[in-house]
Amino acid sequence: MTLVQEGEARLEALVTAGRIDPEAAPGWRRASGPPELAPVEECLPGRPELPGGVPAKLLNHLDLRLDPSTSGWFAGHPGGRLEMRGWVRFTDGRDADPLALLQMVDALPPASFELGLASWAPTVELTVYVRGIPAPGWLACVVRGQLWQGGWFDEEAEVWDSAGRLVAQSRQIAGARAAS
């Protein structure tokens, strides 16, 4: 599918669909499991406006809680690594479904914020894998990157449900420019 605006291709999407077997057990998995996060009540609530007045309208619909260990950027003390962790759920109380996971993989602030690059980080490429039907409750999310170079960085995201199951993953390339 291609989105065309003023005669120019602006967005391309490729979708591959299948069926999720809710009873399928992993045949193998890395030993790590869900990310270690501070309890929800100890996390920093997301706000629909970022420092500097930039709107984050997505947070009008999502309840986001950032782990204090990866929210130093918010207080002006970034942690110096490409990592962000937090809890996410809908503000209206409904549980996430497989379609919602497409949004949840990209719900946290960009990992580049923890490098002190707290500005717009446009996605150039995003691939999402829906791995399961999420159990009700908060979703634990972690986003990590390997490299920021030349204004570009990568992110790998994991979304874990309240039952401790990996229900979505993503990989993306995004831009982040240092202030001049």
Res 26: pLDDT = 83
Percent above pLDDT 90 for the chain? 67
Q: Which long-range contacts (CB under 8 A, 24 or more apart) does 49-56 make?
A: 50/109, 50/118, 51/118, 52/118, 54/119, 54/120, 56/109
159 in a domain, yes or no?
yes
9 in a domain, yes or no?
no
Whose tokens are 């391309």? That residue is: 12
4 in a domain, yes or no?
no
Res 82: pLDDT = 95
Name residues of the chain where pLDDT drops below 70.
31, 50-52, 180
111 in a domain, yes or no?
yes
CATH number where 118 lies = 2.40.160.210
Res 170: pLDDT = 97
pTM for the structure as a whole: 0.89
146 in a domain, yes or no?
yes
Longest dimension (CA), the chain: 52
Res 94: pLDDT = 95
60 in a domain, yes or no?
yes
Task: Give me the number of domains the chain comprises.
Answer: 1
Res 51: pLDDT = 62
Res 1: pLDDT = 85
151 in a domain, yes or no?
yes
32 in a domain, yes or no?
no
Res 180: pLDDT = 60
Residue 76: left (phi > 0), alpha (psi -120 to 50), or beta? left
Cα distance between residue 72 and residue 78, in whole Å:
4
Cα distance between residue 53 and residue 49, in whole Å:
6
Res 135: pLDDT = 96
- The predicted-structure confidence for 106-145, as pLDDT tens digits, reads as follows 999 999 999 999 888 889 999 999 999 999 999 999 999 9
Domain that holds residue 145: 38-175
Q: What are the two backbone dihedrals, phi and then psi, of residue 4, each rounded to the nearest 5 degrees?
A: -115, 135
